[in-house]
Protein backbone atom coordinates (compact mmCIF):
# COMPACT_ATOMS: atom_id res chain seq x y z
CA UNK A 1 0.00 0.00 0.00
CA UNK A 2 1.29 3.51 -0.76
CA UNK A 3 2.22 5.77 2.15
CA UNK A 4 2.46 9.48 2.81
CA UNK A 5 5.44 11.10 4.52
CA UNK A 6 4.03 14.18 6.26
CA UNK A 7 6.31 16.83 7.77
CA UNK A 8 5.31 19.95 9.68
CA UNK A 9 8.25 22.34 10.02
CA UNK A 10 9.28 25.66 11.53
CA UNK A 11 12.61 26.73 10.03
CA UNK A 12 14.91 28.52 12.50
CA UNK A 13 18.06 28.72 10.31
CA UNK A 14 17.23 29.21 6.64
CA UNK A 15 20.77 28.66 5.33
CA UNK A 16 21.29 25.33 7.11
CA UNK A 17 17.77 24.19 6.28
CA UNK A 18 18.38 25.06 2.64
CA UNK A 19 21.27 22.58 2.62
CA UNK A 20 18.93 19.97 4.16
CA UNK A 21 16.36 20.56 1.41
CA UNK A 22 19.03 20.34 -1.29
CA UNK A 23 20.14 16.90 -0.06
CA UNK A 24 16.77 15.53 1.10
CA UNK A 25 15.03 15.77 -2.29
CA UNK A 26 17.39 13.36 -4.07
CA UNK A 27 17.38 10.98 -1.08
CA UNK A 28 13.57 10.88 -1.11
CA UNK A 29 13.47 10.35 -4.89
CA UNK A 30 16.06 7.54 -4.63
CA UNK A 31 13.63 5.64 -2.38
CA UNK A 32 10.64 6.07 -4.66
CA UNK A 33 9.25 9.17 -2.99
CA UNK A 34 7.65 12.02 -4.90
CA UNK A 35 6.54 15.35 -3.47
CA UNK A 36 2.83 16.10 -3.72
CA UNK A 37 2.82 19.19 -1.46
CA UNK A 38 5.81 21.30 -0.52
CA UNK A 39 5.37 24.49 1.44
CA UNK A 40 2.13 25.56 -0.24
CA UNK A 41 -0.85 27.40 1.16
CA UNK A 42 -2.53 25.72 4.13
CA UNK A 43 -5.22 26.31 6.74
CA UNK A 44 -4.46 25.14 10.29
CA UNK A 45 -7.68 23.89 11.86
CA UNK A 46 -6.32 22.20 15.00
CA UNK A 47 -3.01 21.70 16.78
CA UNK A 48 0.28 23.55 16.57
CA UNK A 49 0.74 25.57 13.41
CA UNK A 50 3.99 25.16 11.49
CA UNK A 51 4.62 27.49 8.53
CA UNK A 52 6.08 24.77 6.26
CA UNK A 53 4.24 21.55 5.48
CA UNK A 54 5.54 18.85 3.14
CA UNK A 55 3.86 15.69 1.87
CA UNK A 56 5.61 13.02 -0.20
CA UNK A 57 4.10 9.80 -1.54
CA UNK A 58 6.11 6.58 -1.25
CA UNK A 59 5.36 3.10 -2.60
CA UNK A 60 4.98 1.77 0.96
CA UNK A 61 5.49 2.55 4.65
CA UNK A 62 8.63 0.43 4.51
CA UNK A 63 10.07 2.47 1.61
CA UNK A 64 9.46 5.72 3.52
CA UNK A 65 11.01 4.37 6.72
CA UNK A 66 13.97 2.95 4.78
CA UNK A 67 14.45 6.39 3.21
CA UNK A 68 14.46 8.05 6.63
CA UNK A 69 17.14 5.67 7.92
CA UNK A 70 19.24 5.77 4.73
CA UNK A 71 22.72 7.30 4.85
CA UNK A 72 21.69 9.88 2.22
CA UNK A 73 18.70 11.14 4.19
CA UNK A 74 20.58 11.07 7.50
CA UNK A 75 23.27 13.26 5.92
CA UNK A 76 20.55 15.71 4.89
CA UNK A 77 18.93 15.52 8.31
CA UNK A 78 22.20 16.57 9.96
CA UNK A 79 21.56 20.02 8.42
CA UNK A 80 17.95 20.19 9.66
CA UNK A 81 18.84 19.40 13.27
CA UNK A 82 19.25 22.69 15.08
CA UNK A 83 17.91 24.54 12.03
CA UNK A 84 14.26 23.59 12.46
CA UNK A 85 11.53 22.31 14.73
CA UNK A 86 9.77 19.40 13.03
CA UNK A 87 7.24 16.67 13.32
CA UNK A 88 7.43 13.84 10.79
CA UNK A 89 5.13 10.87 10.33
CA UNK A 90 4.46 8.18 7.76
CA UNK A 91 0.87 7.12 7.16
CA UNK A 92 -0.31 4.24 4.98
CA UNK A 93 -2.96 5.30 2.48
CA UNK A 94 -6.15 3.40 1.75
CA UNK A 95 -5.46 3.21 -2.00
As a whole number of angstroms, the longest Cα–Cα distance in the chain is 37
* Domains of the chain with CATH codes: 3-38+49-92 (3.30.70.100)
**How much is the pTM?**
0.91
Write the pLDDT tens digit of every residue in 19-52.
Answer: 999 999 999 999 999 999 998 999 999 999 999 9
Residues 2, 62 contacting (CB under 8 angstroms): no
Q: How far apart are CA 28 and CA 5, in angstroms?
A: 10
Amino acid sequence: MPALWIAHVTVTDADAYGKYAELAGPAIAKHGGEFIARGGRFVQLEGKERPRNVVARFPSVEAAVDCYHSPEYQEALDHARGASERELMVVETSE
